[in-house]
Structure 1
Amino acid sequence: MYPPDDSQSKDIFVSLGDRVVLNCSADDSNQAWETPLGRIDGNSTRDNQLYILADDFSLVIPSIFDNHTGDYLCISPLREMHYLLFLCPNNEPQEKVVYEGGTVSLACNFGQDVPERVQWHRFGLSDQYEIIYNSQDKTIPIPEDLQHRVTLSENGSSLTIYNLEMNDGGKYGCAALKNLTFEKTPVCMLPPLDTQG
């Protein structure tokens, strides 16, 4: 997953085994990452848990484990990027096979409880992690290629995409948080969507 780098702070919802890349544009040779596993800089050697990409200083987590949840901070003299990784339980994915020009509705079942926050994201064919909707941050725009083709239910529990295009294929996920602290596990749905044309 590649969170977009157009903001200074992002919440990322992942499941065990996911591969995650946290963006941080290379500004200076004095950059470093503060992580739950300790500090990593450009001189750190690659290990099997975390490493830095040489070309853009992004932090790669090849496979998410329990000890990876928490705060990640990319620090440089010119900017800071903050990520908060939430570990979501693995739910049974919903597979949808749809056709170009068609419509698909994805559901996030969070039961009777009213969550404090609902977030929809996608991991598309371009390997980019993008937030589609965040109920607590209305300033996050719908991705440009989905604008005017997406509707959400009033409580955020369902997402509908119209006039499907080939590049809409990929994995879509819903995270519903009952409590925004790590004491409570977020409820997450990760329904993949396959598009055929």
Structure 2
Amino acid sequence: MVGSPVSSTRFWELYPPTSADDRAWVVVFRFGTVGQLRAWLDSPDRRRLLDEGRDHVTGFDVRKVGSAFSGWFRFGEAGGREAQAPPNWKQAMMVLLALYPTVMVLSLTVSKALTDGGVPEFLVFFVGNILSVATLTWFLMPLVNRVFAFWLVPGVARTRRRQAAGAALVIACYAFSLLVFGLTGWLTAD
């Protein structure tokens, strides 16, 4: 596990080895766009720095982290490489679309049953989180990705009409969820 950086700027952080047995230093670079990352990876400056450090480095690897939710947004391979993930704002909209009904259904069913059964609240929340993550990972996010592929999949024509239609459909789904759970709450109120 990586600890606190010994040196950092807005764009990079340097982490020392985490134990006496570990000799690996970790450097984290941040890029604003995938294009900026690719430009750096292919740059003469990077090649020069790697050449200068060969006598001091026994090995290295490069790992790219696309976004916070990239594991839920995989759309196959593009030219032998994993396709880009949708923009973060679309990913966040999709996660909310799947997460809100999941949490509401679990709250109205499993969490209520566990709480009524005397299970401590901290365990109820833990079980709820396990069920939410499992439901999202193996059922709802793949379903949402298929339904909204016209709007999410990178490389699909990005017309203003398609962008507006996707966003409007997501907002309509939010409204429907709020209506359904609003009525459910009203019907189940004591």
Judge same fold: TM > 0.5, yes or no: no
Could you tell me the TM-score, scaled by structure 1's length? 0.24
Bigger Rg, structure 1 or 2? 2
Q: Which has the larger share of strand?
A: 1
- Answer 1 or 2: higher relative contact order, Cα 8 Å, separation at least 6: 1
Could you tell me the TM-score, scaled by structure 2's length? 0.25
